[in-house]
Amino acid sequence: MELKAVLIDDEAQSREILENYLLKYCNGVRVSGQASNINEAMEVIGNTDPDLLFLDVEMPFGNAFDLLEKLPDRNFEIIFVTAYQQYAMDALNQHAAYYLMKPISIDALVSAVDYVREIKAREAALNDKVLQGVKKVEGKITIPLQDGFEVLDVSQIHYCQADDNYTRIFLANRKILVSKTLKYFEEALSAFPFARVHKSYLVNVSEVVRYRKGKGGSVLLNSGKEIMVAPSRKRELLRFFE
């Protein structure tokens, strides 16, 4: 499996050497970003969603541990790369996958990458196994999240709203932003009483308490939310109440 890696080191030459080593000796590792300090690292991590961080300890404006404190919910593995042996215990306390000393040994680098690849492969296999089991549970749907997934009772969903390539899922007392299109949820919920009443809305018909007539009309939900019905979607909605 391919691993997306981000290199964080204040020395450009160190990043260049590491990138060359990865390219030459570690198949399937793609460097998706680099940073020289904490502020740059936060931006790059947010933009690239990496699988793996190669992280130097000492940097301007704070160290690696300051960065990790800002990222309590992380979905990547960490390989520390440093010239300072005294940080090893702190690295272990941060659940680092590996600790490499500078200058980097190629054999140690290959072992570190292989170790992370094995972790990621096992996570993916476990995730697939759990998802397959969940799909068999009647009345449930899995919501993909950045750090895994959440299992929802379909009955908890009031409506879904399109937001470009994202979807906002509205529940009784909260909402979830998911990086899937509304079309994805229209298909995922096709076995349940959900109606696509508008290009931007998918409604749980069980939550509808009133229909207002009009060219397309509108539906009023239990929550008090009123949603316009597109004329082309009116027939689909009314079929649920025949």
Does residue 135 fall inside a structural domain? no
123 and 72, same domain (yes or no): yes
7 and 122, same domain (yes or no): yes
Which of 82, 108, 128 is at the close of a domain? 128
DSSP code at position 195: E
81 and 197, same domain (yes or no): no
Q: Per-residue pLDDT tens for 56-93?
A: 888 877 788 888 888 766 778 899 888 777 665 565 55
pLDDT of 221 above 80: yes
108 and 44, same domain (yes or no): yes
Q: Per-residue pLDDT tens for 103-133?
A: 999 999 999 999 999 888 877 776 565 555 4
**Residue type present at position 209:** V
Centre a 10 Å sphere on the Cβ of residue 96 and count the other Cβ atoms it contains: 21
Q: What is the mean pLDDT of residues 133-160?
A: 77
**Residue type present at position 131:** L
229 and 168, same domain (yes or no): yes
CA 186, CA 98: separation in Å to the nearest integer?
42
pLDDT of 145 above 80: no
pLDDT for 198 equals 92
Choice between 2 and 147, residue whose per-residue pLDDT is larger: 2
30 and 99, same domain (yes or no): yes
Average pLDDT over the chain, rounded to an integer:
85
Does residue 186 fall inside a structural domain? yes
Q: Structural domain of residue 226, as residue ranges?
A: 140-241
CATH number assigned to the domain comprising residue 198: 2.40.50.1020
**Residue type present at position 73:** D
74 and 169, same domain (yes or no): no
Does residue 80 fall inside a structural domain? yes
Which of 98, 128, 158 is at the close of a domain? 128
The segment with the largest mean pLDDT, out of 88-97, 106-115, 134-143, 225-234, is 106-115
Does residue 184 fall inside a structural domain? yes
65 and 167, same domain (yes or no): no
The pTM (predicted TM-score) of the whole model is 0.56
Residue with tokens 């899937």: 180
DSSP H or E stretch at residue 48:
helix 38-48
Q: What angle do CA 126, 76, 102 make, to 5 degrees?
A: 130
Q: What is the mean pLDDT of residues 184-202?
A: 90
Centre a 10 Å sphere on the Cβ of residue 189 and count the other Cβ atoms it contains: 18
> For a pLDDT cut of 90, what percent of the chain falls above it?
44
Which of 78, 98, 128 is at the close of a domain? 128
Domain count of the fold of the chain:
2
